[in-house]
Structure 1
Amino acid sequence: MEKVLLGVDLGGTTTKLALINVYGEIIHKWEIATDISENGKNITMNIAKAIDAKLEELNEPKSKMLGIGMGAPGPVNFTNGSIYEAVNLGWKDYPLKDLLEVETSLPAVIDNDANMAALGEMWKGAGEGAKDLVCVTLGTGVGGGVIHNGKIVHGISGAAGEIGHMTVVTEGGAPCNCGKVGCLETVASATGIVRLASEALGMAGEPSLLQERIQEGNRLSSKLLFQCALAGDSLSKSVVDRVGNYLGLALSHVGNVMNPEKIVIGGGVSNAGDILLEPVRKAFELYSFKRVRKSTKIHLATLGNDAGVIGAAWLIKNRLNPS
């Protein structure tokens, strides 16, 4: 096996790992459960054990590994690789980089997981070739990564790119986990979309395909909503259009400030495809500045769940060899 990088995408439930060559090609990938017990104190040790076990399985020496890049939830102090706070892991001012290097005996670099996804899409995905890029991830929450001139924008306290906490509902907004109300995350995440759909069903004055599917025993989910919208259900389509309008509004603000070459939409919700992308683009055209809407293009992400590990590999590769 040639010299490789290890990309790690740390999640609250599972941790994705991948051996990746210096050209961004995945050689081998796997995942392990994330042990969040005792405030996540076993996470770095478990990752180290998983690496050793995989190398033994592949009959490859550790000397072929150049380093580890890891995407972690929450804001990251990029200067020392510590985590300011990761609520779902129980971390606060947690020295993740130092602990990971001690456990693995390899150089490591840490950044926010959404930033890593943005770097992955820039290197090998929908943002390939762009040095000014914004990536938005729509999943259980809404994350974001901002890249300017090929480098991640962190901000003074590691909170740059928190697109999910832009206020898009100024009156009567739903509470967000961040403590505010009306955040984009409350209307464009998978959970936020389900809430909007549930509200629409409660106010519906006539039958809908979505209601029929639920009565047949299907669980209300963003995936079911998009399926019904694709099938022509007017109630579902109205909810999707509403989500698209909120997201397009938020992205217009991002575009007006950053004027990136590309805005890439990823995460599980983006699997809806064009039925979501069309109202997003329509709203972006409506709300963005003329020069922005002519020069900034919106695309769906192409790397799926691999974006984070590929971006993490890119970051450690470039940290080790900045040229």
Structure 2
Amino acid sequence: MTEPLLETDIALAVDIGGTKVEAALVTANGQLVAGSRHRAPTGRERSAEELDASVRTVVESALAGVQPHQRLLGAGVGSAGPVFSPDGEISPLNLPQWRRHRIAERVTALTGLPTVVRLDGQCLALAEAWVGNLVGTRNAMALVVSTGVGSGLIVDGRLLSGGTGNAGHLGQMLIREVAAGQDPDEASVERISSGTGSVAWARANGWEGTTGEELVADALRGHPTADAAIQRSVNGLAEAIASVGALVDIEAVSIAGGFALGYPRYIEEVAAALARYSVLEHTTRITVHRSSLGGDAPLIGAGGLVWRA
């Protein structure tokens, strides 16, 4: 923004994921407006028209909270990827009904606001660098380890977006050799470190649970396969962070997500594994933090796109 910001300035934030879409109002100092947050379902079972209806529901509900003294300046959308930011389009892998979906155009049609679209992991990084525990770091990465693995990068003090808007995405980085005939995704960070991937690996090795929460609980009780699945997640993530550190020279990492933060020692164990896997001295200095913003970060970051992207 080029004009001076006022304390009453707000932005509309929309966060699109594989199971839900949320919208809220975000202040110019990075706070969610109380009572403005609304959620509606997404999911593979819903049609493209039903997904659009969910977006409309949360956007209209959030905008109903705008007060007469507030100035609404724009809208920011964070989405599961891939995205096509220059065109305002998204093609979330977990929402196959939407391919090159013109989400910016639709949000603008609903609101009359200029709309910026970025990868959800980039919104996470923007939020952490703006008002979270990455404040003051010029080179950092924010991660969410939950159903999947998402991420974003801050490089030289700026959010790294890339040519299509998909820069900084860690989930599909390959950290294992891909054997002949193997699906490359089997070697990805997401398949190895996410809650979904960890549960699938544990079940393939004899564990009988079904959820990430059960896996964490069994690991804490000393179940060997559950514990091995958690350690596989920790080690895979640490390998990926070491690789990113070697490439981009980051100073710090912030980790969010229910799967990672559900395991009390996850952050400390990632930091210890990072020291083991670091080939270069400067990657051993990367600090690993627990997210200070939790589930608010994607919406805060999406709102921040209006002012800081």
TM-score when normalising by structure 2: 0.85
Which deviates more from structure 2 when the two are superposed, residues 71-80 or residues 27-36?
27-36
Please tell me whether residue 194 in structure 1 is matched to residue 199 in structure 2. Answer: yes
Please tell me whether residue 184 in structure 1 is matched to residue 184 in structure 2. Answer: no
Match of 2:8 in 1: 2
Letter in 2 for 1:30: H
Larger Rg over CA atoms: 1
Letter in 2 for 1:255: G
Query: What RMSD, in angstroms, separates the aligned Cα atoms of the two structures?
Result: 2.9
CA distance in 1 between partners of 2:198 and 2:88 (Å): 34
Q: Post-superposition shift, 1:42?
A: 5.5
Match of 2:41 in 1: 33
Match of 1:166 in 2: 173
Q: For the Cα contact (< 8 Å) 1:55–1:61, is it kept in 2?
A: no
TM alignment of 1:100-115, pairs within 5 A: 100-115=107-122
TM alignment of 1:112-191, pairs within 5 A: 112-170=119-177, 180-191=185-196
Which deviates more from structure 2 when the two are superposed, residues 31-40 or residues 69-78?
31-40
Q: Post-superposition shift, 1:235?
A: 4.0
Q: Post-superposition shift, 1:288?
A: 1.4
Q: 1:95 aligns with which of 102, 110, 116?
A: 102
Q: Post-superposition shift, 1:49?
A: 4.8
Q: For the Cα contact (< 8 Å) 2:246–2:280, is it kept in 1?
A: no
Which deviates more from structure 2 when the two are superposed, residues 60-69 or residues 32-41?
32-41
Match of 1:253 in 2: 243
Judged with a 3 Å threshold, the aligned counterparts in structure 2 of structure 1 residues 49 and 196 are, in CA distance, closer, same or farther, namely closer
Q: Secondary structure at the match of 2:237?
A: helix
Q: Secondary structure at the match of 1:309?
A: helix
Please tell me whether residue 275 in structure 1 is matched to residue 282 in structure 2. Answer: no
Q: Post-superposition shift, 1:7?
A: 1.4
TM alignment of 1:13-28, pairs within 5 A: 13-28=19-34
Q: Which runs of 5+ in 1 are unaligned?
A: 203-210
Per-residue CA deviation, residues 218-244 of structure 1 (Å, 9 max, x unaligned), is x43222222232234444333322221
Judged with a 3 Å threshold, the aligned counterparts in structure 2 of structure 1 residues 273 and 126 are, in CA distance, closer, same or farther, namely farther
Judged with a 3 Å threshold, the aligned counterparts in structure 2 of structure 1 residues 173 and 71 are, in CA distance, closer, same or farther, namely farther
Which deviates more from structure 2 when the two are superposed, residues 14-23 or residues 152-161?
152-161
Q: Which runs of 5+ in 2 are unaligned?
A: 1-6
Per-residue CA deviation, residues 256-297 of structure 1 (Å, 9 max, x unaligned), is 111112112222212234422233222211121343234311
Q: Secondary structure at the match of 2:185?
A: coil
Kindly indicate which of the two structures has a greater share of residues assigned to helix.
1
Which deviates more from structure 2 when the two are superposed, residues 45-54 or residues 188-197?
45-54
CA distance in 2 between partners of 1:55 and 1:93 (Å): 26
CA distance in 1 between partners of 2:256 and 2:216 (Å): 16
Q: Post-superposition shift, 1:306?
A: 1.0
CA distance in 2 between partners of 1:239 and 1:45 (Å): 38
Q: Post-superposition shift, 1:62?
A: 9.6
Q: Post-superposition shift, 1:149?
A: 2.2
Per-residue CA deviation, residues 3-54 of structure 1 (Å, 9 max, x unaligned), is 3112111123221112121111111322123387885245456544544444
Q: For the Cα contact (< 8 Å) 1:48–1:104, is it kept in 2?
A: no
TM alignment of 1:185-264, pairs within 5 A: 185-200=190-205, 202=206, 219-264=209-254
Judged with a 3 Å threshold, the aligned counterparts in structure 2 of structure 1 residues 275 and 41 are, in CA distance, closer, same or farther, namely same
CA distance in 2 between partners of 1:187 and 1:37 (Å): 26
Q: For the Cα contact (< 8 Å) 2:154–2:160, is it kept in 1?
A: yes
> Number of residue pairs matched?
301
CA distance in 1 between partners of 2:165 and 2:66 (Å): 39
Q: Secondary structure at the match of 2:292?
A: coil
TM-score when normalising by structure 1: 0.81
Match of 1:205 in 2: none
CA distance in 2 between partners of 1:119 and 1:68 (Å): 15
Letter in 2 for 1:5: A
CA distance in 2 between partners of 1:85 and 1:11 (Å): 8
Letter in 2 for 1:198: R
